[in-house]
C-alpha cells in the first residue's frame, strides 16, 4: 500500500522518526483524501521487517517480508482494521456535508467497478462501530505481540462508534498497552468525544493542491479530471470513484432542474424521479447530496461572490442569476433543513412527496426576494 503524492509532507513528518510516534493518532479531514490508504501504509511500514527508503524519501514497507505478506493476505496477527459491519448499515451516523456523499460498489451500466477497498465505505457515514468490536480489540491489545514487535489498530471511521464503544475505547487509550499504536480515522472529528480527541495526536489532512490532484487523476486515466475534482470538493479519491462509476453525466442531469427551476415543484420533482428510476445505481441520498452542493455554491455566491464546486461557465451563470434574486437567510434555512432530512433520504416513506417537498423549499428560498 502506497501513500498518495499529496501526502508526502505528512508522511515525512510522522515517519522520519517512527520511534517517536505517540500511541494514538487521529487522522482527520474530509472523506476522499486517502486517509485510510495513509493509515494502512503506516501500519505496513511500522510492521515491516525490512523497511526500505521510498523514492519520495522516508521509509516504506518492503512488500516482500513475512509481515508484508501477511498484511497483504489480511491475516497479520499484530494488525487489526476495525470498521462498521457492512450488514449493520443504518442511517444513525449521518455524514456531515464535507464527508461528501455515498460511494457504492454497485455496477453502473454493466461495467464492473473497481472501487478500491479504501473507498468502499469511506463517506457513507452509515453503520456503527459496536462495543463488542472494541471489546474484541481489548483482548487483542492486552495480549502480548505475536512477534515481539508493535501491534497496530486502524479504526475507521471513529465517529461511527456508539457512545458505549467510544467509552470502552477511551478506557484503553487512558492506559495504553506498550507497543500498541492506534490510528483513528475521522471524517467528522467534531463528533468525537473530546476526551478521545485529547488522548490522540491530531493529524489534519488538508485538501491537496488541485493541480497535483488533477495530474494524479489524469495519470489514472480519468477524463475531465478538473471538473470531476471540483464537483468532489477537491477530494481526489472521491473524484476517481465517481469517474469510475460514470457519475458525471448523472450529476449533470440531476442539476438540470436546478439550473432552470421554473416555478413548479411538481415538474422539478418529476425530472428527478425519472432520473432515479432510469438509473438503479443512483439513489435519493446521492441526489440530496448534489442539491446540497449546489445550494452551498448558491450561498457562497450570494454572500461572497465565489464558488467551490460548480465552476463550469453555464453553471456559474445560472448560480449568479439565482443568487441575485435569492434571500441569504432563506437559503441558509433551506441548507439546515436539507441537513436534517438527509437521514430520511435513505428511507423515505414516499419518494415523490420527498422530492416535491425538496423542490418547493428550493423554489421558496430562491425566489424569496
Ligand atoms: Zn516488509
Report how far ligand 1's centroid is from the alpha carbon of 53 (Å).
12
Residues 241 and 358 in one domain: no
For ligand 1, the distance from its centroid to the CA atom of residue 62, given in whole angstroms, is 4
How far is residue 187's CA from residue 96's CA, in Å, rounded to a whole number? 8
Query: Rounded to the nearest whole angstrom, what is the distance from the C-alpha of residue 67 to the centroid of ligand 1?
Result: 6
Q: Judge contact between 52 and 59, C-beta under 8 A.
A: yes
State which residues form the domain around 333: 247-366
Q: Do 229 and 180 reside in the same domain of the chain?
A: no
Shared domain check, 347 and 315: yes
For the stretch 193-233, pLDDT in tens is: 999 999 999 999 999 999 999 999 999 999 999 999 999 98
The pLDDT confidence band at residue 58, using thresholds 50, 70 and 90, is: confident
Q: Residue 118 — very low, low, confident or very high, per pLDDT cuts 50/70/90?
A: very low
Q: What is the whole-number distance in angstroms between the Cα of residue 35 and the centre of ligand 1?
A: 21
* Ligand 1 centroid – CA 45 distance (Å): 7
- Tell whether 185 and 316 lie within a shared domain: no
Residues 163, 195 within the same domain = yes
What is the CA(206)–ligand 1 centre distance, in A?
29
Task: Report residue 181: phi and psi, to 5°.
Answer: -115, 120
- Which domain-ending residue is among 195, 220, 245? 245
Q: How far is the CA of 15 from the centre of ligand 1 (A)?
A: 15
pLDDT reading at 116 higher than 70: no
Residues 108 and 162 occupy one common structural domain: yes
The total of structural domains in the chain comes to 3
61 C-alpha to center of ligand 1: Å? Answer: 5
Q: How far, in Å, is the centroid of ligand 1 from the Cα of 73?
A: 13
Q: What spacing in Å lies between the alpha carbon of 146 and ligand 1's midpoint?
A: 16
* pLDDT tens digit sequence for 252-303: 999 999 998 888 999 999 999 999 999 888 889 889 989 999 999 999 999 9
**pTM for this model (two decimals):** 0.79
Cα(47) to centroid(ligand 1), Å = 7
Distance CA 345, CA 283 (A): 9
Domain co-membership, 159 together with 253: no
**From ligand 1's centre to the CA of 46, what distance in Å?**
9
- Do 176 and 30 lie in a common domain? yes
Q: Which pLDDT tens digit goes with each residue over 170-197?
A: 999 998 888 899 999 999 888 899 999 9
Q: How far is the CA of 338 from the centre of ligand 1 (A)?
A: 47
CA dihedral (277, 278, 281, 283) positive or negative = negative
Q: 230 and 196, same structural domain? A: no
Residues 26 and 158 in one domain: yes
43 CA to middle of ligand 1, Å? 11
CATH number for the domain that contains residue 176: 3.40.50.300
pLDDT band at 120; cut points 50, 70, 90? very low
Give residue 80 CA to ligand 1 midpoint distance, Å.
17
Cα 344 to ligand 1 centre (Å): 46
CATH number at residue 338: 1.20.272
Q: How many whole angstroms from 144 Cα to the centroid of ligand 1?
A: 21
- CA 158 to ligand 1 centroid distance, Å: 27
Domain shared by 88 and 237, yes or no: no
Judge if 256 and 360 occupy the same domain.
yes
Amino acid at each position: 500500500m502506497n501513500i498518495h503524492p499529496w501526502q508526502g509532507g505528512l508522511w515525512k513528518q510522522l515517519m522520519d522518526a517512527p520511534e517517536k510516534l505517540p500511541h494514538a493518532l487521529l487522522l482527520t479531514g474530509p472523506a476522499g483524501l486517502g486517509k485510510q490508504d495513509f493509515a494502512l501504509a503506516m501500519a505496513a511500514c511500522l510492521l515491516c521487517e525490512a523497511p526500505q527508503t521510498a523514492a519520495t524519501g522516508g521509509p516504506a514497507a518492503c512488500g516482500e517480508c513475512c509481515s508484508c505478506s501477511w498484511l497483504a493476505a489480511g491475516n497479520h496477527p499484530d494488525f487489526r482494521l476495525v470498521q462498521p459491519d457492512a450488514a449493520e448499515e443504518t442511517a444513525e451516523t449521518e455524514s456531515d456535508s464535507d464527508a461528501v456523499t455515498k460511494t457504492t460498489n454497485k455496477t453502473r451500466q454493466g461495467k464492473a467497478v473497481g472501487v478500491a477497498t479504501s473507498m468502499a465505505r469511506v463517506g457513507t457515514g452509515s453503520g456503527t462501530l459496536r462495543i463488542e468490536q472494541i471489546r474484541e480489540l481489548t483482548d487483542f491489545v492486552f495480549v502480548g505481540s505475536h512477534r515481539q514487535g508493535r501491534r497496530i489498530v486502524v479504526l475507521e471511521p471513529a465517529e461511527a462508534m456508539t457512545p458505549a464503544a467510544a467509552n470502552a475505547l477511551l478506557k484503553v487509550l487512558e492506559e495504553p498497552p506498550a507497543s500498541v499504536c492506534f490510528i483513528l480515522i475521522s471524517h467528522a472529528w467534531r463528533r468525537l468525544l473530546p476526551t478521545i480527541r485529547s488522548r490522540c495526536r491530531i493529524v489534519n489532512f488538508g485538501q491537496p493542491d488541485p493541480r497535483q490532484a488533477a495530474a494524479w487523476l489524469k495519470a489514472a486515466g480519468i477524463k475531465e479530471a478538473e471538473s470531476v475534482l471540483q464537483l468532489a470538493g477537491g477530494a481526489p479519491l472521491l473524484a476517481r470513484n465517481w469517474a469510475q462509476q460514470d457519475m458525471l453525466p448523472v450529476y449533470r442531469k440531476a442539476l438540470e432542474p436546478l439550473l432552470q427551476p421554473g416555478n413548479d415543484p411538481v415538474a422539478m420533482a418529476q425530472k428527478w424521479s425519472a432520473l432515479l428510476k432510469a438509473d438503479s445505481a443512483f439513489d435519493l441520498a446521492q441526489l440530496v447530496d448534489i442539491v446540497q452542493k449546489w445550494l452551498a455554491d448558491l450561498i457562497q455566491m450570494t454572500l461572497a461572490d465565489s464558488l467551490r464546486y460548480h465552476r463550469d461557465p453555464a453553471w456559474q451563470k445560472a448560480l449568479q442569476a439565482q443568487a441575485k434574486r435569492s434571500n441569504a437567510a432563506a437559503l441558509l434555512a433551506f441548507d439546515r433543513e436539507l441537513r436534517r432530512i438527509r437521514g430520511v433520504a435513505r428511507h423515505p416513506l414516499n419518494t415523490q412527496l420527498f422530492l416535491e417537498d425538496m423542490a418547493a423549499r428550493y423554489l421558496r428560498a430562491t425566489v424569496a426576494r
